[in-house]
Amino acid sequence: MGKNSITIEDVLNKLKVKRTSQREALIRSAYEFSLMAHAGQKRKSGEDYIQHALHTALNIAKMGMGSKTIAAGLLHDVPEDTTYTLDEVEKKFGPEVAFMVNGVTKLGKIKLRGTKEEYYLENLRKMFLAMASDIRVVIIKLADRLHNMETLSALPEDKQKRIALETMEVFTPIANRLGIGEVKGALEDLSFKHLDRENYDKIRKIQEEEYAQRKKYLDRAVVELRKELTNDGIKVLDIFGRSKHLFRLFQKLKKHDMDINKIYDLIGVRIILPDISDCYAALGIVHKKYRPLVGRIKDYVSLPKPNGYQSIHTTVFGPEGKIMEVQLRTRQMDDEAEFGIAAHWIYSDKNQQSLRHLIFGNKGKDKLKVPEKELAWVKQLQDWQNELGKDDAEFIESLKIDFFKNHIFAFTPQGDVIDLPEDSTPIDFAYKLHSSIGNRATGAKADGKMVTLDYKIKNGQVIEILTVKENKKPSRDWLMFVRTSLAKSQIKKAFKK
């Protein structure tokens, strides 16, 4: 066995859902079938093909997915790369597992042709269709891509570049939108390594040197904070040091003229606590021990990021006055930050309750239960793509803005939360409320103060839209500054009428 070889026991040991005999039997059965189907096959790296199936399954298990998804991960290349058919997989493992395997096979059929943009578009469309039919298909695809990226150096250089570019353009934004931070960070770093080796090596060197220097302060902070919290009666589930992913560090350094001293969150302490009230109580204790940096407290618990991320971040002057970040969160918040939408399976399983809403799935009895709130944007994608029609350039542009750009939250005066892409304006906000409010908008207030209609809304602001009563047409000038495809299409629609 090679140095990175794993066994089915490694996969089973990483299960986050309850390890029942029924689940274990399904996973072992899928492994035996995959082992038989791929017998004698080798990958370009020289390892047995079954290793790829095992690593894919291991990534899926780490994300907290259930036994059927893990089984589908073990079988995902069988119909495509062996003499066994999808019908045989369905006969042995049932329609739900076969549906996922088929979904992954379809996603794998996209081959590069035409322009990069056409390819990018086709790939994204297929990804979204797969998401809308069963989100687990995309989770398997991300797990599969992660192992492919880890073994990418076995391929010719031109292929390495193409796959790394596709990963950066298509897979990392999807991992981000699904809130799977751990997979997103790993995919970005692996793509970065193949797309820009010079900067990758430079950043890795900076990080290693800085981390080595700062580690002693980090270790001391972990000991001191654990002691302070325990003395104050706060139960600490876990406390550990963490460092930034390389690609994110590179992005930050570019914003700060490559000056590492301006990066305050290169290293940090993460504290896992039993519940939300403990997070706020612990924040006070952290600030009593270490002086906070003014204006550097971010509360993503009361105002989560649109991909669901929740945590409290504070930047403090730690041991010997060294600046470091402290993150406070519950175990569930931590799992959801690392594994996003996938983490919901763990918690629905632990609580022995079905997830709240029945949406998306192959028709009929195998429909998958997933939380509607977290996946409302996938549903929105379908409706909105139908509305945009066939204009590919417009579809790509809107995708990049509406779905892959950083998002902010703004509030109505009644306290309803409106999710918008960064740099959105009061007109975007108005159309998000209703097309007639957008059309009749004459002015806006942000936090009670009058602002212009092209004002860029900031995260957490309360926005009030002033309207006229009679029917009025929007202004053509608005097309110059609105950010969302919804606002653009509604303005154009009003003029067509």
Cα distance between residue 47 and residue 164, in whole Å: 21
Pairing label, strands 267-273, 323-330: parallel
| Nearest of 79, 179, 89, 84 to residue 139 by alpha carbon | 179
DSSP code string of 21-75:
HHHHHHHHHHHHHHHHHTTT-B-TTSSBTHHHHHHHHHHHHHTT--HHHHHHHHH
Tell me, letter by letter, the H, E, C secondary structure of 277-307: HHHHHHHHHHHHHCCEEEEEEEECCCCCCCC
The residues carrying an active-site annotation are 80-81
Q: Computed over its alpha carbons, how large is the radius of gyration of the chain?
A: 24
Quick one: tokens of 138? 């995309």
DSSP conformational letter for 236? P
Please name the residue that has the structure tokens 């799977």: 180
What is the tally of helices (H) and strands (E) in the chain? 21, 10
Cα distance between residue 94 and residue 160, in whole Å: 36
- Amino acid making up residue 282: A
Quick one: tokens of 497? 């009428």
Cα torsion through 66, 122, 177, 162, rounded to 10: 90
Cα distance between residue 147 and residue 153, in whole Å: 12
